[in-house]
Structure 1
Amino acid sequence: MNNQIGTRVSGRSVLPWHGWVLSGLFLLYSIAATYDYIMSVSVGQSYYRASGMTEAQINYFSNVPDWAVVGWTLSVFGGLLGSLALLFRMRAASTLFAFSLLGSLGYILYTLVLSAGREAMGGLWFMPFVVAALTCLMIFYCRRWLK
């Protein structure tokens, strides 16, 4: 068995142990984000109420413009597919994470620059930045290890 980092087995890069950990953790986060996305889009206000949101938060998140929802969609599904691609050692992982980052930046633009999203998010207003930063790190990680 060949354990050297960066070598190829059956045409794919060998993923080091930390790649499995990172992709697994990002996949778990992405599954939760995908669940939240699907529930938000399909159930909407009932889901928001069940999540403990205030009426002001429900009103804010129920009225996000379509272009920001497209950004959110790219962010969620790019992260999910990027995580899966990394697990399967596919070079497309960095591109998928890049789409996720692009979507995150669009959503950040709306929520934290063009609207009152900071107030609506309360104490978690910084989380889109954390997700964008982690996604950016995943892009660099994929480019480094999936050659």
Structure 2
Amino acid sequence: MEQAVVDQGPDGTVSSGSERAPWHLWVVGVLSLLWNAMGAFDYSMTHLRGDEYLRQMGMSDDVVAWFAAVPAWATAGWAFGVWGAIAGSLLLLARSRHAVTAFGLSLAGVVVMTIYTLGHAAPDSVNSPGAQAFNWAIKAVALLLLIYALAMRRREVLR
């Protein structure tokens, strides 16, 4: 006969380890996966189809040249940002505590790419108010997903 695993939390509450996840975990997990999938698509297409993809997206020659000049260390930051976020979203949906690590790596990747862009001025079209707002949204979402995963781990929703 199988016995249920019983855990005692730091606040003294007893948990069977099989509690249901809150509804918002599924909403955040699915929405974050969709959001991060857009970033993964953009990253993949930029690297697989390069200039052709960027021009299809309406990028000018100076923007295409700027992207082509991004060094490997900044590209690695972009990769960690994108793929860490995808992994974090999937791990969040799987209720894994490793979602925290994945979202942490994603945020670190965003920071690395931000350091590069701050030190290597992008063309004006990349620095338009709309583009800047979108870049800040990326940073905010990455930070909020890490905070959310930390909260879910602290509440022992993530195993």
TM-score bracket, shorter-length normalisation? 0.7 to 0.9
Q: Which has the higher contact order (CA 8 A, sep 6+)?
A: 1
Out of 134, 141, 148, which is 1:141 matched to? 148
Q: Distance in 2 between matches of 1:88 and 1:53?
A: 37
Aligned to 2:35: 29
CA, structure 1 residues 70+101, in 2 after alignment: closer, same or farther (shift >3 Å)?
same
CA, structure 1 residues 96+7, in 2 after alignment: closer, same or farther (shift >3 Å)?
farther
Aligned to 2:120: 115
**TM-score, normalised with respect to structure 1:** 0.86
Q: 5 Å matches for 1:1-147?
A: 8-9=17-18, 14-111=20-117, 113-117=118-122, 119-121=124-126, 122=128, 123-146=130-153, 147=156
SS of residue matched to 1:116:
coil
Give the counterpart letter for 2:152 in structure 1: W
CA, structure 1 residues 103+32, in 2 after alignment: closer, same or farther (shift >3 Å)?
same
Q: Distance in 2 between matches of 1:130 and 1:7?
A: 38
Q: Distance in 1 between matches of 2:152 and 2:25?
A: 8
**TM-score, normalised with respect to structure 2:** 0.80
Q: Residues 13-55 of structure 1, C-alpha deviation per residue, up to 9 Å, x if partnerless?
A: 6321111111111100111111111111111001101111111
Which stretches of structure 1, 4 residues or longer, exceed 3 Å deviation after superposition?
A: none
Between stretches 65-74 and 15-24, larger displacement belongs to 15-24
Gaps of 5+ in 1: 1-5
SS of residue matched to 1:64:
coil
Q: Distance in 2 between matches of 1:118 and 1:55?
A: 10
How many residue pairs match? The answer is 138
